[in-house]
Amino acid sequence: MSSTSHARARLRDRRVYLRSHPLLFGLLAATRGRAVRRLGRTLLVHGPDAYREALTRLPLDRTAAGTTGAAARAALRDGEGVLFDQEGGGHRADRRGLAGTLGAAGVEELRALWQPLLVRRLAPLARGGEVDLVDLARELSGAVVCALLGPGADPRAVAGAAAEAAAASVRSHLPGPRRPRAEAAAARATDRLRLLLGPADEALSAMVAVAAVNTTVAALPRAVAWCADAGLWDQAADAALRPVLADELLRVTAASPLLPRVAAADGAVGGCPVRGGDRLLLVARHAAAAHRRDPDPRRPAGPAVARLVFGAGPHACPGARLARAQLADVLGALAPYRPVVARARVDRGAALPGWRALTVRAGAAGAAA
| Structure confidence by residue, pLDDT tens digits, 306-351 | 999 999 887 788 889 999 999 999 999 999 999 999 999 999 888 8
How many helices (H) does the chain have, and how many strands (E)?
16, 9
pLDDT score of 174 more than 80: no
pLDDT score of 176 more than 70: no
pLDDT one-digit tens code per residue, 250-260: 999 999 999 99
Instruction: Residue 33: give the domain boundaries.
Output: 3-368
**This prediction's pTM:** 0.87
74 or 296, which is more confident: 296
> Phi and psi at residue 89, in whole multiples of 5°?
-60, -40
pLDDT score of 12 more than 90: yes
The answer to whether 36 and 52 have CB atoms below 8 angstroms apart is no
CA–CA separation, 319 and 250 (whole Å) = 13
Among 233, 223, 246, 224, CA closest to 338: 233
Q: How many domains does the chain have?
A: 1
The answer to whether 212 and 144 have CB atoms below 8 angstroms apart is yes
- Residues whose CB falls within 8 Å of the CB of residue 318, separated by 6 or more in sequence, listed in order: 95, 98, 99, 102
Q: Give residue 71's pLDDT band: very low, low, confident or very high (50, 70, 90).
A: low
pLDDT one-digit tens code per residue, 208-262: 777 888 899 999 999 999 999 999 999 999 999 999 999 999 999 999 999 999 9
Q: Give residue 84's pLDDT band: very low, low, confident or very high (50, 70, 90).
A: very low
Q: Give residue 79's pLDDT band: very low, low, confident or very high (50, 70, 90).
A: very low
Task: Determine the pLDDT at residue 55.
Answer: 93
Say which CATH number the domain at 331 has: 1.10.630.10
296 burial level (CB within 10 Å; 0-12, 13-18, 19+): middle
